[in-house]
Structure 1
Amino acid sequence: MATRIAYSPCPNDTFVFHAWAHGLVPGAPELDVTFADIDVTNGMAERGELDVLKVSYAVLPWVLDEYALLPCGGALGRGCGPLVLAREPGLDLAGRTVAVPSDRSTAYLLFRLWARTLPGGGVGEVVVMPFHEIMPAVRDGKVDAGLVIHEARFTYQEYGLHCLADMGEHWEATTGHPIPLGAIIAKRSLGADTLRRLADAARASVRMAWASPSASADYVREHAQEMAPEVAQRHIALYVNDFTEDLGPAGYEAVHTLLSEAAAQNLVPSVPREALTFL
């Protein structure tokens, strides 16, 4: 039976999983792929759906009893944080409406940690909408500001918007750690041997993507919708890095710090460090 997996149609995910999804990784479990945005996969994880999921690191406190964090395949890095955008430069967010992509997203968690440093301690109403709808909503005045992720970092100027703050810059400046964004998790009930095979397959798929970047081009383009090819390439270059191949001590420490700081401010349930350990 194929392993049921869900990840986003974003270029970094299709680039990373291309080889595995197309049966090119020797000995890897066959995949049954569902494409879904991160707000959807976060909900899937909380409901215990599917075997393997790409989710926000911020959702881990609610799902680690059922799922294990795999040490590879995800998104964690530097200079790749979510942005807060508005039509007016320097807009005061006190009392303003801000659109965010999922209330369980890492982007929103980083935003909440940052917003607590603002005068008055926060913003007005927060509304959740799919990330690709946020910039048009800000541009059209449906919301006052928006928290954006993915390729929006490269395209927001096309909407006439201004960057009020970079959540990644704030995170890196205050902690020194890289920015945890998206995690790959797998059901613990699959067993230790299968979890190792899944991790090995994800790592091999990453390495094969790097070894032959052009091999995944059609798959990336097929699912990148109307994204310009150069934007897709910048997206991949930003979000696929050494941490994608292996979190390593620095990656695990970044994740633990994020969840610990959030728990200390009662934003998420507390997560013991050992709960993050693979197997």
Structure 2
Amino acid sequence: MELTLGFSPCPNDTFIFDALIHGKIDTEGLSFNVFFDDVETLNNKALKGELDITKLSFHALAYVAEQYALLDAGSALGFGVGPLLICTKENAEQINQILRLKSEASNLKVGIPGKYTTANFLLGVAYPQLTNKEELIFSEIEDALLNGEIDLGLIIHENRFTYEDKGLQKVIDLGSYWEEFSGCAIPLGGIVVNRKLPLEVQKKINRLVKKSVEYAFAHPKSGIDFIREHAQAMDEAVMYKHIALYVNQYSIDLGIDGRKAIDTLFNIATKNKVIPPIGKSLYVNS
């Protein structure tokens, strides 16, 4: 059986899926037609039900839970891994004052990496007054700030490691905000499977993704060429720093704590009417 599989070219995803798609583990009769896209593109593909298996933001999962179920393997959760809200150094004092006083905050233009990203959800929880948003490719946000096209930038992925080198300044770490607010790890992205597939196939996929992550941990240099190929000339040290931040024990299996973090996120989002109520269990193995 051939299945369509979508994930991002970021090092954490290529690290996770290398063994699965390159025959380094027994795929139990499954093969994969792979699509590489940024997460917001994958979010929108999920909204259209285009892929059998896909990476998506947990925020987006709220809108596709009727069609997709979450695997216990492959997710990105953790502490100290959240999105950052940044600005230019020359505007930092003024912007911080506006945010503290909540005055004229709606006039500030914020560059976000996508409407359905978990980063945008956390921004809405922390600063609901920031309503003037412009969707940008995540890698373009720093330059948009430097060029004066936006007042604030919401950054994710490897940009967490590069913004200071460009003379930009952190306003708030939304991951730390979430951790203090909820006491849970921050859920960023997960791997979902289309519910139209037979349950035994869904469970097989969950098992294979887990084996792929375990293989990657056991052989961390095995996929180096594949990871580097898609890492957009990222320095190798930064590449592995990126992997270490986003791939951990939750990527092998969510476990009780991982599910608690996700359930807390969805409960708060539903209570605050950020997302619609969800009628089905989120998980494959429920």
Q: In 2, distance between residues paired with 1:107 and 1:124?
A: 14
> 1:197 Cα deviation (Å)?
0.8
In structure 1, the residue corresponding to 2:215 is in which secondary structure? helix
Contact 1:87 1:161 in 2 (8 A): yes
Normalised by the length of structure 2, the TM-score is 0.93
> 1:273 Cα deviation (Å)?
7.4
**Counterpart in the other structure of 1:70:** 71
> 1:275 Cα deviation (Å)?
3.5
**Counterpart in the other structure of 1:119:** none
- For residues 80-91 of structure 1, the aligned pairs below 5 Å read 80-88=81-89, 89-90=92-93, 91=95
**Counterpart in the other structure of 1:234:** 241
- For residues 146-161 of structure 1, the aligned pairs below 5 Å read 146-161=153-168
- For residues 62-141 of structure 1, the aligned pairs below 5 Å read 62-88=63-89, 89-90=92-93, 91=95, 92-93=98-99, 94=105, 95-116=107-128, 122-141=129-148
Equivalent residue letter for 1:113: V
Contact 2:20 2:27 in 1 (8 A): no
Equivalent residue letter for 1:133: E
Distance 1:96 1:124, change over 3 A: farther
Contact 1:75 1:182 in 2 (8 A): yes
Distance 1:275 1:212, change over 3 A: closer
Determine which of 251, 256, 263 is the counterpart of 1:249.
Answer: 256
Q: In 2, distance between residues paired with 1:244 and 1:181?
A: 11
Q: Over residues 1-27 of structure 1, what are the superposed CA-to-partner deviations in whole Å (9 max), with x where a residue is unaligned? A: 421000000000000000001011113
In structure 2, the residue corresponding to 1:9 is in which secondary structure? coil
> 1:139 Cα deviation (Å)?
1.4
Q: In 1, distance between residues paired with 2:212 and 2:248?
A: 13
**Counterpart in the other structure of 1:55:** 56
> 1:123 Cα deviation (Å)?
2.0
Determine which of 262, 267, 272 is the counterpart of 2:274.
Answer: 267
Determine which of 177, 201, 204 is the counterpart of 1:170.
Answer: 177
> 1:124 Cα deviation (Å)?
4.8
Q: Quick one: percent identity of the two aligned structures?
A: 38
Q: In 1, distance between residues paired with 2:155 and 2:220?
A: 27
**Counterpart in the other structure of 1:3:** 3
**Counterpart in the other structure of 1:43:** 44
In structure 1, the residue corresponding to 2:188 is in which secondary structure? strand
Contact 1:252 1:276 in 2 (8 A): no
Q: In 2, distance between residues paired with 1:252 and 1:129?
A: 30
Contact 2:72 2:283 in 1 (8 A): no
Contact 1:256 1:273 in 2 (8 A): no
Q: In 2, distance between residues paired with 1:79 and 1:97?
A: 26
Contact 2:66 2:280 in 1 (8 A): no
- For residues 182-221 of structure 1, the aligned pairs below 5 Å read 182-221=189-228
Query: Structure 1: where are the runs of 5+ without partners?
Result: 117-121
RMSD: 1.3
Contact 1:6 1:36 in 2 (8 A): yes
Q: In 2, distance between residues paired with 1:148 and 1:37?
A: 14
